[in-house]
């Protein structure tokens, strides 16, 4: 694995002069739902502190691959995952891995905002509390505030932290869910069509937020919107019928892809 010092990573993030190190690596990933195979030998690297977009027509396996990255597929009884997925070089499917801890390191934001039916404060405080990340009420208050700040939501909710999270607008709820993921200090954030339930203004805010978050987090996003992939990602991976068609810098994927299926998909010929 390509190891760089923090300073070198910082420089590469700023200048994009060299390839960033690999944060997660999928090797020959195969996924089955019962008898049906949904992914075929997918090899895909996710680079540190970049946004990787997963695109492709409906049913091609984008969400399935995303869910492999924090073992969310474990929650689906009939689902079986083969191959290897590594986080910082460590196999996350190793039986010794604590899945709860893994999902704190690799957080997830879903298509439909899903705040807990509790206060805004409690939505954020829950994770740090169960993971034992804070030792006092004041430390917890700080985590809640800084997570909401990082999610660009603090100013909008600071006077009603003890009101229900479900009372917020859809876009605010989605930023609350992002704040909830951030609160446990993840390294990677997975987003499964995070804007599909949002209006254009709320979508723009979440996209802006994703762009800011990539300074500190590695992000993988599934999206049906080509415009969104082009706006927020630095790398794009194209899936088709359970196969990874190609992967590369987003600029290249959208202007000069190697594979005709990518060209056809991004120009709206299928999907």
Which residues of this chain interact with ligand ATP, rule CB under 6 A?
33, 38, 56, 58-64, 76
CA-closest candidate to residue 58, choices 263, 270, 213:
270
Closest approach of Cβ 123 to ligand ATP, in Å? 25
Q: Give the residue with the Cβ less far from ligand ATP, 3 or 78.
A: 78
Q: Is 53 or 184 the residue whose CB approaches ligand ATP more closely?
A: 53
Q: How far is the CB of 58 from ligand ATP (least distance, A)?
A: 4
Measuring CA to CA, how many Å separate 26 from each of 45, 89, 90, 193? 6, 10, 11, 21
Output the smallest distance, CB 82 to ligand ATP, in A.
15
Angle between helix axes 120-130 and 170-182 (nearest 10 degrees) is 20
Backbone angles phi, psi at 69, to 5 degrees: -75, -20
Residue (22 or 38) nearer to ligand ATP, CB: 38
Instruction: State the minimum distance, in angstroms, from the CB of residue 111 to ligand ATP.
Output: 8
DSSP bridge partners of 249:
235
The whole-angstrom separation of Cα 88 and Cα 95 is 17
Nearer to ligand ATP, 5 or 58 (CB): 58
Which CB sits closer to ligand ATP, 61 or 127? Answer: 61
CB of 43 to ligand ATP, least distance (A): 17
Backbone torsions φ then ψ of 257, nearest 5 degrees: -70, 155
Report whether 218 contacts 23 (CB < 8 A).
yes
């Amino acid at each position: 694995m390509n190891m760089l010092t923090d300073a070198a990573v910082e420089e590469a993030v700023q200048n994009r002069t060299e390839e960033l190190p690999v944060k997660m690596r999928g090797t020959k990933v195969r996924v089955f739902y019962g008898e049906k195979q949904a992914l075929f030998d997918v090899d895909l690297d996710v680079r540190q502190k970049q946004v990787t977009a997963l695109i492709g027509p409906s049913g091609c396996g984008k969400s399935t691959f995303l869910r492999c990255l924090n073992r969310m597929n474990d929650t689906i009884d009939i689902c079986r995952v083969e191959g290897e997925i590594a986080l910082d070089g460590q196999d996350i499917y190793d039986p010794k891995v604590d899945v709860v801890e893994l999902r704190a390191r690799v957080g997830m934001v879903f298509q439909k905002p899903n705040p807990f039916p509790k206060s805004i404060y409690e939505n954020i405080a829950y994770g740090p509390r169960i993971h034992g990340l804070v030792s006092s009420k004041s430390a917890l208050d700080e985590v809640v505030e800084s997570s909401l700040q990082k999610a660009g939501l603090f100013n909008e909710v600071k006077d009603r932290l003890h009101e229900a999270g479900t009372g917020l607008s859809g876009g605010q709820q989605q930023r609350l869910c992002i704040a909830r993921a951030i609160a446990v200090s993840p390294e990677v954030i997975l987003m499964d069509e995070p804007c599909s339930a949002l209006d254009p203004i709320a979508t723009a805010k979440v996209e802006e937020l994703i762009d800011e978050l990539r300074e500190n987090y590695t992000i993988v996003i599934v999206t049906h919107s080509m415009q969104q992939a082009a706006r927020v990602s630095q790398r794009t991976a194209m899936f088709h019928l359970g196969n990874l068609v190609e992967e590369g810098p987003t600029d290249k994927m959208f202007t000069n892809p190697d594979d005709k299926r990518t060209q056809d998909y991004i120009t709206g010929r299928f999907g």
